[in-house]
Copies of this chain bind each other. A is one copy, B any other.
């Protein structure tokens, strides 16, 4: 039903080839001819059929973006950055919600392969399961083998060892270093009894942040006894429950570090409910610096990851892999944001 190239050609009195050339501007066409074509296009409301185009030119302008949860601002901000980069060209970014399910991740990857996506951006931590890892690597290899590029934004390397996979670009958040500095900040404030609420064990991000924390502890010569670690989650409820567990196991803690801001918010809520003053009695810190960290009461000390910017560069790499740095890895610096939820140890 919609007008096709041939219709435009007929109306403009030229051949289909000429119309195509005018529209793509990759071949010299006389000014007057081009004008006639443009008029015909306007008159017929013609819009090129993307599928036919992709088929003929064997190139598509679809870019897939895989996120754990669109409703989570962490991913929302990254996605915004990516889409921002897309607005350069006539490119469609497909945001896919995996819900942290390995199975859905693979399904979407296949779907994107089916659409011959130009590139794929995988965001956030990976599901930490050996079986999934190989299946994922296989899908990704399938992608890169057709010339499509894969960008990992805030994702660990695909292979256990750090060797680069060809065609795969990484935009790397320095989770452990950020976590290390955060805990070091608490140590500097005099805290010696620091509880840690780590994220879900299935996510690699949790591990990296915990590692940074532990490193800071060992650098300060703090015993693990006085600094309990509780496996919690990245959601609010886990943070809430986790801080309760922490207090039960080690009532003397003076600081709580959560694996991310959302969990930290849960912890804040629980402490408030128990009438424990923050930061007078217990300091609290998070990670990510989501907008809500600033809005929290008291405002949350956290580690800022420039997510929007990371998303934007990831998008640019997806658009044009040649922009990627040599080595294929762009490190993203984190920044410690000291706010009101942390203070000197009470005495």
Contact = CB atoms under 8 A, between A and B. Distances in A.
Contact of A95 (B95, B104, B146): B95
A207 interface: no
Interface residues of A, number: 52
A167 B115 CA distance: 26
A55 B96 CA distance: 23
A234 to B, nearest CB: 14
A347 interface: no
Contacts of A1: 145-147
A113 interface: yes
A284 interface: no
B79 A95 contact: yes
Nearest to A52: B55
Interface in A30-73: 45, 47-52, 54-55, 60, 62, 69-73
Contacts of A49: 55, 114, 116
Contact of A80 (B71, B110, B272): B71
Contact of A76 (B52, B72, B265): B72
A87 interface: yes
Contact of A295 (B55, B60, B93, B265): B265
A77 interface: yes
Contacts of A90: 111, 114
B295 A272 contact: no
A93 B92 contact: no
Contacts of A77: 71
A76 to B, nearest CB: 3
A28 interface: no
A313 to B, nearest CB: 17
Nearest to A78: B71
B92 A47 contact: no
Interface string A272-284: 1000000000000
Given A1-B146, A76-B71, A80-B69, A55 B51 contact: yes
A292 interface: yes
A334 interface: no
Interface string A86-104: 0100101111110000001
